[in-house]
C-alpha cells in the first residue's frame, strides 16, 4: 500500500548549484541491494515522469511501484529543471553526468551502497550511459530506454534539427501544455491514456514553463556522446514499439558493441516514447526490474 512508502526530499550540491533529489522506499523491509536511480529526459523533470498522480487513474508512479517491491528508489531534477537551481547554463549531457556524480555522493552516503542501478529515458538514457562510462565503479546495472547513439534513422531527431539555430541562440526553450502532450501523441497516440498526458503536462507546468536546451543541442549536433566499447556495465536497451526517436538499426549497432555478455535488448509492444507512462507501462517496469534482479554471480 502507498501508506507503507516513505517519501524523502534531499538536496545534492554541485558547487553553488542545488539539485533536488527525491527518494521513496518502504518504511521497513526493503531489500539490501543496490538502489535504483531514475533519470528523466529533456522536457519533463523527475516527479512528472516517475511519480505522477493521475486523477481517476491509479498506478502511474514508477517510484511507488518499485518501492512496493522492496527497492530503494531515487530520482533527481537535473540542473535547470524542476526544483533544482535554474542557472544560465544549458544542462547538456556532460552537465548531467556531473549532476549524477553529485547525487551519487548523496545516495552512497545515505544508503551505504557502493553502486546503484540506473534507468534513463531518452536524453536521460544518454546521461545514464555517459555516467556509466565515466564512473563504472558506481554503475551496477544500466537500463537505456528511448536511447539514441548516432541518431541515424531517427525521424524525431531529423525534425528536431530544424531548431538547431534556436537551441544555439538560447540556453532555455519554452514548453507549454500542447507541447508536452505532443510528446505522448506524436508516435503512437493509442499507447497513452489522454488523461495521463494531461496530468503530466499539468505537473510539469506547475514547475515552470521552460527547460534547458542542452540535451536537444547534443542530440541534434553532437552525437555520438558515448562510446559503447567503454561501457562495461551490464546493460539492457529498451525500445517502445512506436518510438520515433530510437531507431532500431542504430540501437542494434550500439548493442553489439557493448563488451559485456550480460546484456539484453527488448522491444516492447504497444509503447511509444514515454514508455514509463504508457498504457502498457508494466511491461517496461517488469522488464527493468527483472534485469536489475538478474545480477551476475560476480556482482554478489
Whether the pLDDT of residue 1 is over 80: the answer is no
State the average pLDDT over residues 71-94. 98
Q: What is the pLDDT of residues 160-205, one digit of tens each?
A: 999 999 999 999 999 999 999 999 988 888 999 999 999 999 999 9
What is the C-alpha R_g of the chain? Answer: 17
Reported as a pLDDT band with limits 50, 70 and 90, residue 31 is: low
Residue 115 lies in a domain: yes
Its pTM stands at: 0.96
Q: What is the pLDDT of residues 276-300, one digit of tens each?
A: 999 999 999 999 999 999 984 444 3
Q: What is the pLDDT of residues 136-147, one digit of tens each?
A: 999 999 999 999
Render 140-170 in DSSP notation, one character per residue: EEEEEES--SS-TT-HHHHHHGGGHHHHHH-
Whether the pLDDT of residue 63 is over 50: the answer is yes
CB 14 within 8 A of CB 95: no
Reported as a pLDDT band with limits 50, 70 and 90, residue 99 is: very high
The domain that holds 67 is classified in CATH as 3.40.50.1820
State the average pLDDT over residues 140-157. 97
Render 195-208 in DSSP notation, one character per residue: HHHHHHHHHHHTT-
Residue 24 lies in a domain: no
CB 51 within 8 A of CB 22: yes
The Cα–Cα gap between 208 and 173 comes to: 11
The Cα–Cα gap between 284 and 40 comes to: 15
* CA atoms in the 13 A half-sphere facing the CB of 83: 13
Q: What is the pLDDT of residues 241-289, one digit of tens each?
A: 999 999 999 999 999 999 999 999 999 999 999 999 999 999 999 999 9
SS3 label, residue 171 = coil
Q: Which domain holds residue 196?
A: 2-16+35-93+109-299
Residue 104 lies in a domain: no
Residue 161 lies in a domain: yes
Q: Which residue has the higher pLDDT, 50 or 27?
A: 50
Q: In total, how many domains does the chain have?
A: 1
User: What is the torsion angle, in degrees rounded to the nearest 10, for the CA atoms of residue 62, residue 64, residue 70 and residue 72?
Assistant: 80
pLDDT of residue 42: 98
pLDDT of residue 300: 37
Omega before 263 cis (within 30°)? Answer: no
Residues 6+ apart with CB under 8 A from 162: none
Residue 26 lies in a domain: no
pLDDT of residue 3: 79
Whether the pLDDT of residue 55 is over 70: the answer is yes
Residue 99 lies in a domain: no
Residue 23 lies in a domain: no
Residue 28 lies in a domain: no
The pLDDT > 90 percentage for the chain reads: 93
Residue in 39, 40, 31, 103 with CA at minimum distance from that of residue 67: 31
The pLDDT > 70 percentage for the chain reads: 97
Look up residue 152 and give its three cell numbers. 541515424
Render 31-51 in DSSP notation, one character per residue: -SS--EEEE--SSS-HHHHHS
- Say how many C-beta atoms besides its own lie within 10 A of residue 181's C-beta: 18
pLDDT of residue 299: 41
Q: What is the pLDDT of residues 104-128, one digit of tens each?
A: 999 999 999 999 999 999 999 999 9
Amino acid at each position: 500500500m502507498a501508506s507503507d512508502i516513505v517519501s524523502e526530499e534531499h538536496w545534492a550540491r554541485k558547487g553553488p548549484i542545488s539539485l533536488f533529489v527525491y527518494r521513496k522506499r518502504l518504511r521497513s523491509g526493503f531489500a539490501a541491494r543496490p538502489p535504483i536511480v531514475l533519470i528523466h529526459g529533456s522536457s519533463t523533470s523527475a516527479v512528472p515522469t516517475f511519480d505522477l498522480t493521475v486523477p481517476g487513474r491509479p498506478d502511474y508512479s514508477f517510484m511507488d511501484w518499485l518501492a512496493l517491491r522492496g527497492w530503494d528508489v531515487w530520482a533527481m531534477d537535473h540542473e535547470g529543471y524542476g526544483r533544482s537551481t535554474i542557472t544560465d547554463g544549458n544542462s547538456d549531457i556532460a552537465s548531467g553526468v556531473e549532476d549524477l556524480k553529485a547525487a551519487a555522493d548523496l545516495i552512497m552516503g545515505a544508503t551505504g551502497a557502493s553502486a546503484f542501478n540506473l534507468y534513463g529515458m531518452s536524453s536521460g538514457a544518454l546521461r545514464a550511459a555517459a555516467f556509466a562510462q565515466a564512473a563504472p565503479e558506481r554503475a551496477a546495472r544500466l537500463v537505456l530506454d528511448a536511447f539514441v547513439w548516432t541518431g541515424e534513422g531517427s525521424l524525431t531527431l531529423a525534425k528536431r534539427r530544424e531548431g538547431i539555430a534556436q537551441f544555439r541562440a538560447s540556453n532555455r526553450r519554452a514548453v507549454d501544455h500542447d507541447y508536452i502532450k505532443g510528446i505522448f501523441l506524436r508516435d503512437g497516440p493509442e499507447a497513452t491514456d489522454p488523461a495521463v498526458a494531461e496530468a503530466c503536462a499539468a505537473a510539469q507546468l506547475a514547475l515552470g514553463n521552460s527547460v534547458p536546451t542542452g540535451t536537444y543541442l547534443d542530440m541534434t549536433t553532437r552525437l555520438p556522446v558515448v562510446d559503447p566499447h567503454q561501457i562495461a556495465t551490464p546493460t539492457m536497451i529498451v525500445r517502445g514499439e512506436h518510438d520515433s526517436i530510437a531507431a532500431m538499426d542504430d540501437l542494434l549497432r550500439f548493442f553489439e558493441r557493448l563488451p559485456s555478455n550480460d546484456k539484453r535488448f527488448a522491444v516492447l509492444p504497444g509503447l511509444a516514447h514515454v514508455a514509463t507512462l504508457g498504457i502498457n507501462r508494466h511491461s517496461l517496469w517488469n522488464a527493468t526490474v527483472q534485469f536489475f534482479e538478474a545480477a551476475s554471480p560476480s556482482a554478489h
